[in-house]
Structure 1
Amino acid sequence: MSSSVPRTVKAIETTELLRLDDEARERGYNRHHGPGWLATNVAPSAIHYLHPVVVHNAGRRPEFSPHWRCALLLKLPDDQEIFSLLDVWPPSFEALPETLDAETKSAISHQLLEGNLPTQAQWVASNAGDHGE
């Protein structure tokens, strides 16, 4: 497996995002959203974006290391966008289709890494009264 992350961004539907999040929990990765959080809070028909940013090792689960820590652009039902992280098994990421052109990938990468998006934690804190969190 490569010792570096691919320089790409992939668009994923909510159903695929939920599957990848479940996989992250099953593999014991640190960056996932917990059972039900995504299904409750993201737009069901939205497109979200994954951008691998760093190779990460799971010391207690060497059979699932290394994996990629991805920046994640989440779309909420009110069209708000927030930043999160998701650990992804490289073969699972590589199986996702490439559907974005270079200009779109660059724009999303810039938005994720330099766009000052609210983080998932900030969004949860500011909406705690609205969602019973």
Structure 2
Amino acid sequence: MPSPVPRTVKAIDTPTLVQLDTQAIEYGFNRNHGPGWLARHAARNSTHYLRPFLEHRAGRRPEFSPHWRCMLLLTMRDSQQVFSLLDVWPASFDRLPETLDRAAKQAIADRLDHANLPTQAQWASLNP
């Protein structure tokens, strides 16, 4: 049984983000970006940030329940930062290294909670 939803923020590079998104698609999670979308649109040499905020259960895929629904601070190819969501398997999240100090985690959490960031969908509608 997975542990409670972690109260942390993890920094990830683009290849790791693409792997997590691919896993979300393979596992049938609701929150993903679609095949190849992140590889085409996310900044290649950037850091993105994941913050789990709730435990999600997929009734149609009980073998992949529960999993974490994560807020994602995503840096796009034009350097704009946007808000998105990504469902992540707990074991995959746990394997991500803790690289941020407490102040950095708090700054990212505050940005995700209060910065009124554009969403990934809004960005995509302006950047086909």
TM-score range, shorter chain: over 0.9
Partner of 1:103, secondary structure, is helix
Name the CA distance, whole Å, in 1 between partners of 2:95 and 2:117.
27
Equivalent residue number for residue 99 of structure 1: 99
Equivalent residue number for residue 10 of structure 1: 10
Tell me the CA shift for residue 3 of structure 1: 6.1
Superposed, which structure 2 residues align to 1:84-123 within 5 Å? 84-123=84-123
Residues 11 and 50, structure 2, Cα contact 8 Å, conserved in 1: yes
Name the CA distance, whole Å, in 1 between partners of 2:98 and 2:30.
26
Question: Unpaired segments of 5 or more residues in structure 1?
Answer: none
Name the CA distance, whole Å, in 1 between partners of 2:102 and 2:66.
27
Equivalent residue number for residue 83 of structure 1: 83
Question: Unpaired segments of 5 or more residues in structure 2?
Answer: none
Runs of 4 or more above 6 Å deviation: none
Name the CA distance, whole Å, in 2 between partners of 1:94 and 1:3.
10
Name the Cα RMSD after superposition: 1.0
Tell me the CA shift for residue 51 of structure 1: 0.2
Residues 3 and 55, structure 1, Cα contact 8 Å, conserved in 2: no
TM-score, structure 2 normalization: 0.96
Tell me the CA shift for residue 77 of structure 1: 2.1
